[in-house]
Amino acid sequence: MRLKYLMCIAALLPAICIANDRLNAGETLSNNAFIMSPNGNYSLVMQSDGSLVMYRADGSKRHGMAKHGTHANMQYDGNFVEYSGSTAIWNTQTGGRCPCPSYHYLRIWDNGDLTIDYGDFPMAGHLIGRIWSLGRDPNPLTSITGMVEYELPPGKRPSAVPVPFFPPSYSN
């Protein structure tokens, strides 16, 4: 029974992570919320202490944006901004650079890059261009092979993502 449960989690985890690799225009990371790369090797976390930090799966810090924030927002103008209350304390300086009316979003990649991309339709995933990039991780992890080797960061995923349901027959 336990093996069935673990196999079910392993099968669902990649689908859940893929749905959480981006922050669409108008969406916000509030305290303890995060997005994660599809392979689970990187996460961008809005911590409860107000720090916006990108982590590797082993818990090491990949990049820190700012401290003392309350939330981070992917704005409709193409700018990703960390706020403390209503005051902007860090941003990507990309406001107005998106050749709208295309759709744009912040995305975290398997190679440790964090980008602001634009495409033609939110769910189609057709990448047309890029207006900002943090760059590939200069010190990537050498071996992350499965879900056993990393833990999810604390907090909640963006609310638009469904929570998986496991029937009672999968529990002990």
Kindly indicate the confidence band of residue 19, based on its pLDDT and cuts at 50, 70 and 90: very low
Sign, CA dihedral 12-18-19-21, equals positive
Instruction: Tell me the domain boundaries of the chain.
Output: 2-145
The CATH number for 2-145, chosen from 2.90.10.10, 3.65.10.10, 3.90.180.10, 2.60.40.150, is: 2.90.10.10
Q: What is the pTM of this model?
A: 0.70
pLDDT at 96: 84
Kindly indicate the confidence band of residue 38, based on its pLDDT and cuts at 50, 70 and 90: very high
Residue-wise pLDDT for 143-167, tens only, equals 554 443 444 555 555 544 434 444 4
Burial status of residue 162 (CB atoms within 10 A of its CB: 0-12, 13-18, 19 or more): exposed
pLDDT at 100: 63
Give the Cα separation of 82 and 94 in Å (integer): 13
